[in-house]
Chains A and B, each alone.
Chain A
Amino acid sequence: GAVVSQHPSRVICKSGTSVKIECRSLDFQATTMFWYRQFPKQSLMLMATSNEGSKATYEQGVEKDKFLINHASLTLSTLTVTSAHPEDSSFYICSAPQERGGPETQYFGPGTRLLVL
Chain B
Amino acid sequence: GQQLNQSPQSMFIQEGEDVSMNCTSSSIFNTWLWYKQDPGEGPVLLIALYKAGELTSNGRLTAQFGITRKDSFLNISASIPSDVGIYFCAGQRDSGYSTLTFGKGTMLLVSP
Instruction: Point out residues on A near B: beta carbons under 8 Å.
Output: 4, 6, 32, 34, 42-46, 49, 59-60, 91, 93, 95, 97-99, 102-111, 113
Contact = CB atoms under 8 A, between A and B. Distances in A.
Interface of B is mostly: loop
B105 interface: yes
A43 B42 contact: no
Contacts of B45: 105-108
22 contacts: A43-B88, A43-B102, A43-B105, A44-B88, A44-B100, A46-B99, A46-B100, A93-B42, A95-B100, A97-B96, A98-B96, A103-B31, A103-B50, A104-B96, A104-B97, A105-B45, A106-B33, A106-B92, A107-B45, A108-B44, A111-B40, A111-B42
B16 to A, nearest CB: 27
Contacts of A4: 42
Q: How big is the B interface, by class? A: 20 to 34
Would you list the 5 A-B pairs with minimal beta carbon distance, nearest first? A104-B96, A97-B96, A108-B42, A111-B42, A43-B102
